[in-house]
Structure formats: structure tokens, C-alpha cells
């Protein structure tokens, strides 16, 4: 018998001829062309061409493997026959194929598919509290965060810099840093102070 083609009996042997999209994959000539190559996940497009997907479901549509992925997995190599091969909770594939979790001046994690800041590299800080911007401040040179977040250098009576996490005020004429607090700059007017 052959529901999916024609068959002949030659020298006491059944000889099936398969219709388009069908094949005799079990090797039993008596049941003819039993396999639909357009839909069989074990023989998708050809006998023995199985669709696999350890991380989701798989279907065979039109003789091509068609994987559907579980939550944190993706088909990142574009090869449908091996399914959803890539975990999407890695630094190189964070919640999507090719999406890097690489935050500025920090060490990071992609646990659960979410790029998160773990800690800042030495001398850097996350002063805006946003993981996405990483550790955006160099506390060695930033006058608004000199030595740490929110530790600003100010100097109403001159200029100031942050060098190696220390405020370095330069006083305008007639002013001086008399209280020894470099963060408030040149607070004393030498022309008016008693």
C-alpha cells in the first residue's frame, strides 16, 4: 500500500514511488511512503533529519525545523535544526541574542536575564543610581563627587579642582582658606575678617 504515492510489485517486491514531500523513512516497502517530510520532526525535509530543541518546543513546517524557545533561551546561531541553543542570561547574550551586558567601569551580572551592576571598579562610583549608566563618575577628578558621591568641591571666591579625590581650591585676590576645609574653598574675605 502507498497512500502518498504509487507502488508496483516487481519480482515479488513492493517498489513504492513517493509523491512530492513524502518518503519511505522506515525502510518498510510494504507501507509505502509513510513519512510526511513537511511535518515530521524526526524526518524534517529528509529521512533522518531530526529537529532537536533541548530548550523549548519544535515543529516541522514545510520541511524546515521551527523551534520555539523557553523563557531564557534563544536561537542565536540561526540554525533551526539545533533549536534554542543559547542561554540568554550570559554577559554576551543578556535577555536577547547578542545583547551585551557591559556596564561602564563596573563588574556586572545577567542573572535572570537582567543586566545588573554588581560593583564599581576602584575610583569609580554609581552616583545616579542607574544600573544602565554603570559607574559613571570618576571620583578622582569630578568636582561634584570628589572622593565619593555627593562630596562636592565648592569655591565661591575662586576656582576649584578635584585631583586624586581631593578638592584643590585656588583663591581669588583677597580671599583665603582659613578654616582648612578644602571643600568649601576660600571662605574668608581677608579684607573684612576681624
Whole-number mean pLDDT of the chain?
93
Mean pLDDT of 123-132: 96
Chain position carrying cell 567601569: 105
**What pLDDT is stored for residue 22 in this prediction?**
94
**What percent of the chain has a predicted confidence (pLDDT) above 70?**
99
Residue 21 and residue 13 in contact, taking contact as beta carbons nearer than 8 Å: no
In this model, does residue 193 exceed pLDDT 80?
Answer: no
Structure confidence by residue, pLDDT tens digits, 31-74: 889 999 999 999 999 999 999 899 999 999 999 999 999 989 99
Bridge partners (DSSP) of residue 107 are 119
Element (H, E) at 109: strand 106-109
Mean pLDDT of 110-135: 96
Q: Among 134, 174, 135, 136, which Cα is nearest to 156's? A: 174
pTM given for the model? 0.68
**What pLDDT is stored for residue 61 in this prediction?**
93
Amino acid at each position: 500500500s502507498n497512500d502518498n504515492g504509487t507502488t508496483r510489485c516487481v519480482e515479488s517486491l513492493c517498489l513504492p514511488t513517493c509523491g512530492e514531500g513524502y518518503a519511505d523513512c522506515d525502510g518498510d516497502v510494504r507501507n509505502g511512503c509513510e513519512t510526511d517530510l513537511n511535518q515530521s520532526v524526526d524526518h524534517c525535509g529528509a529521512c533522518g533529519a531530526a529537529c532537536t530543541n533541548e530548550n523549548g518546543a519544535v515543529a516541522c513546517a514545510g520541511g524546515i525545523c521551527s523551534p520555539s524557545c523557553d523563557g531564557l533561551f534563544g536561537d542565536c546561531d540561526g540554525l533551526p535544526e539545533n533549536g534554542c541553543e543559547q542561554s540568554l542570561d550570559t554577559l554576551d547574550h543578556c535577555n536577547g541574542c547578542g545583547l551585551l551586558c557591559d556596564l561602564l567601569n563596573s563588574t556586572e551580572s545577567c542573572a535572570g536575564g537582567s543586566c545588573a551592576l554588581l560593583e564599581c571598579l576602584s575610583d569609580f562610583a554609581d552616583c545616579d543610581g542607574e544600573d544602565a549608566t554603570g559607574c559613571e563618575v570618576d571620583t578622582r577628578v569630578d568636582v561634584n563627587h570628589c572622593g565619593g558621591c555627593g562630596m562636592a568641591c565648592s569655591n565661591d571666591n575662586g576656582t576649584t579642582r578635584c585631583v586624586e579625590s581631593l578638592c584643590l581650591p585656588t583663591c581669588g585676590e583677597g580671599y583665603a582658606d582659613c578654616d582648612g576645609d578644602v571643600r568649601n574653598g576660600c571662605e574668608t574675605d581677608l579684607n573684612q575678617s576681624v
